[in-house]
Amino acid sequence: MNGMGRPLVIMGLILVTAGLLLSISPRLPWLGRLPGDIFIKREHFSFYFPLATCILISAILSLILWLIRR
């Protein structure tokens, strides 16, 4: 049981961070509307894929995890 404490704390911190980001995301109007996000709208069909937003979030998370491992 001693080895489970640290991973649980790290997972908890990740969940808290994700919750905080979700709660402040409506205040960031540019998030999800970056150049490079794909949005197709037709008469009876709309498709949205936030490609640039996904890449930005991935880069930020990679940097944070790299700093934690260091």
Mean pLDDT, to the nearest integer, of 44-64?
A: 92
Mean pLDDT, to the nearest integer, of 26-40?
A: 85
Mean pLDDT, to the nearest integer, of 15-43?
A: 86
Give the pLDDT confidence score for residue 46 in this predicted structure: 95
* Domains of the chain: total: 1
Alpha carbon 2 to its chain's center: 30
Alpha helices, H only, 1-70: 5-24, 51-69
Q: Minimal CA–CA distance to 56: which of 45, 44, 64, 48?
A: 64
Q: Is the confidence at residue 18, as pLDDT, over 90?
A: no
Q: Which domain holds residue 27?
A: 2-69
Give the pLDDT confidence score for residue 35 in this predicted structure: 92
Question: 20, 35 in Cβ contact below 8 A?
Answer: no
What phi and psi values does residue 35 have, to the nearest 5 degrees? -65, 130
Q: Is the confidence at residue 52, as pLDDT, over 80?
A: yes
